[in-house]
A and B are shown apart, each in its own frame.
Chain A
Amino acid sequence: MSTAAADKTVPARHRVAWLRKGLNIVTQSYSMMLAAALLAAVLLLIIIVPLLPGYDPYTQNLAVSLAAPFENIDGRTYIFGTDTLGRDLLSRAALAGRVSLLIGLSAVIISLAVGVFLGLVAGFFRGFVESVVMGLADLQLSIPRVLLLIAVAAIVGPSVVNLTVLLGLTSWVVYGRVARAMALSLREREFVLSAVTQGASATWNIRKHLLPNVLPQMLIVGSFELGQIIVFEASLSYLGLGIQPPLPSWGMMISEGQQYLEIDPWIALLPGIAIFMLVTGVQILSQAFTSESQFELATPPKGT
Chain B
Amino acid sequence: MTQGSAPILSVRDLVVEAVGASGPVRIVDGVSFDVHAGEVFGIVGESGSGKSITMLAVMGLLSGRTRLAGGEVKLRGRSLTDMSREELRRVRGKQVSMIFQDPMTSLNPVLRIGNQIAEILEIHQPELTRAAIRDRVIELLGLVGVPNPERRTRQYPHEFSGGMRQRAMIAMAIANNPDILIADEPTTALDVTIQAQVMELLLAVRTRNQAAMILITHDLGLVAETADRVAVMYGGRLMEEGPAEGIFSRPAHPYTVGLMASRPRLDAAPEFLYSIPGQPPSVANRPPGCVFNPRCALQNGREICATTVPSLDRVGVEHSTACHFSREIDGWIGKVNAGGGNTMQETP
Partner-B contacts on A (CB < 8 A): 11, 189-191, 193-201, 204, 208-209, 212-213, 216, 300-304
Contact = CB atoms under 8 A, between A and B. Distances in A.
A293 to B, nearest CB: 11
A209 B108 contact: yes
For A11, A189, A194, A212, the residue with the greatest tally of chain B CB atoms inside 10 Å of its CB is A194
B164 A199 contact: no
Interface string B99-120: 0101001111111000000011
20 contacts: A191-B105, A191-B106, A191-B107, A193-B106, A194-B172, A197-B93, A198-B93, A198-B97, A198-B120, A198-B123, A198-B173, A199-B91, A199-B123, A199-B124, A200-B119, A204-B123, A208-B108, A208-B111, A209-B108, A303-B165
A194 B171 CA distance: 13
For A190, A196, A197, A303, the residue with the greatest tally of chain B CB atoms inside 10 Å of its CB is A197
B119 A198 contact: yes
Given A212-B111, A303-B161, A304-B161, A197 B105 contact: no
Given A201-B89, A303-B164, 4 more contacts: A191-B106, A198-B97, A199-B124, A300-B109
Contacts of B107: 191, 194
B248 interface: no
A213 B162 CA distance: 21
For A200, A204, A216, A304, the residue with the greatest tally of chain B CB atoms inside 10 Å of its CB is A200
Interface in B317-336: none
Contacts of B100: 190, 193-194
A300 B107 CA distance: 13
B97 A208 contact: no
Contacts of A204: 119, 123
B117 to A, nearest CB: 10
B159 A199 contact: no
A198 B92 contact: yes
Contacts of B159: 11, 303
A199 B94 contact: yes
Given A199-B90, A301-B158, A303-B165, A194 B98 contact: yes
Contacts of B161: 303-304
A29 B107 CA distance: 36
Interface size class of B (residues with CB under 8 A): 20 to 34
Contacts of B173: 198
B89 A190 contact: no
B61 interface: yes
A194 B187 CA distance: 16
A179 to B, nearest CB: 15
B133 interface: no
Nearest to B115: A208
B97 A212 contact: no
Listed from nearest, the 4 A-B pairs whose CB atoms lie closest are: A198-B93, A199-B93, A303-B161, A190-B105
Interface string B285-305: 000000000000000000000
A200 B173 CA distance: 13
Interface in B106-149: 106-111, 119-120, 123-124
Given A200-B119, A201-B89, A212 B94 contact: no
B274 interface: no
B33 interface: no
A199 B157 CA distance: 21
B30 to A, nearest CB: 24
Interface string B62-106: 000000000000000000000000000111111001101010011
Contacts of A212: 108, 110-111
A204 to B, nearest CB: 7
Contacts of A193: 61, 100, 106
B59 interface: yes
Contacts of B110: 212-213, 216
Contacts of A304: 161
Nearest to B169: A194
A303 B89 contact: no
Contact of B108 (A11, A213, A300): A213
Nearest to A297: B109
Contacts of B124: 199
Interface in B30-71: 59, 61
A304 B164 CA distance: 10
Nearest to B107: A191
Contacts of A199: 89-94, 120, 123-124
B92 A196 contact: yes
B33 to A, nearest CB: 20
Nearest to A214: B110
B119 A195 contact: yes
B106 A200 contact: no
Nearest to B161: A303
